[in-house]
Structure 1
Amino acid sequence: MATRMIALLYAENMDWIPEYSANVPQMVAKYGGSYNFISTGEVKVLEGTFPAPTGIGIFDFPSVEAAQQFLDAEEYKPYLELRNKHSRNEIFAFDGREV
């Protein structure tokens, strides 16, 4: 079943994003995933009290397991460390269907 992964990024400084973005998409693809949308522009909360992130990534994977394999991959660890050094993140993965 198709899986969507959404990453909410909370960062003060986005200077590390070019290095991350230059290397990570190939790793996502290796696990059957694709970037659908990345935004580091202003996010407005239209409803609710969830804090607005400074960046959002939306990805597709063939399964939740594939998304987790990407996040756990040895080759991704240096970029995970880079991301975690400069930001706080909330990442969600869920199965779904197109409606």
Structure 2
Amino acid sequence: MATRMITFLYADNMDWIAEYSAHVPQLVAKHGGAYNFVSNDVEVLEGDRPTPTGTGIFEFPTPQAARDFLEDEEYAPFIELRNKHSRTEVYVCEGRGM
């Protein structure tokens, strides 16, 4: 089964994202994951939730691999950086490809 981690980012500014993006892809890969899609151009077509300033879709081999990435001690400073400048929602889902 394919596992996707989907993130919605809500930030006032993205000045910090260059530092974050310079390090995080390697940590994602360390856990068998890959960025599938990252965008700062989001349009809500249905629903009444706030529009995120960014979104990311990641692929991991298992839900546990996604959890291990999020709990990795090397990732902790980047969670702190992200949380200092934004609010983020992170979802993991497992399913089959179509």
- 2:62 & 2:3 partners in 1: Cα distance? 5
Using the TM superposition, give the Cα deviation of residue 51 of structure 1 relative to its aligned residue in structure 2, in angstroms: 1.3
Q: Could you say which residue in structure 2 is the equivalent of 1:12?
A: 12
Instruction: Spell out the pairing of 1:1-99 with structure 2 (5 A cutoff).
Output: 1-41=1-41, 43-99=42-98
Using the TM superposition, give the Cα deviation of residue 68 of structure 1 relative to its aligned residue in structure 2, in angstroms: 0.4
TM-score (norm 1): 0.96
Task: Summarize deviations over 1:41-83 as a string: whole Å, max 9, x none.
Answer: 2x21111112110000100000111000000000000101000
Give the gaps of 5 or more residues in structure 1: none
Using the TM superposition, give the Cα deviation of residue 6 of structure 1 relative to its aligned residue in structure 2, in angstroms: 0.3
* Secondary structure of the structure 2 residue equivalent to 1:75: coil
Q: CA RMSD in A?
A: 0.7
How many residues are treated as equivalent by the alignment? 98
* Secondary structure of the structure 1 residue equivalent to 2:32: coil
- 1:67 & 1:94 partners in 2: Cα distance? 10
- 2:28 & 2:76 partners in 1: Cα distance? 13
- 2:43 & 2:55 partners in 1: Cα distance? 12
Identity, in percent, stands at 64
Runs of 4+ with deviation above 2 angstroms: none
Task: Summarize deviations over 1:14-45 as a string: whole Å, max 9, x none.
Answer: 0000000010000000000000111112x211
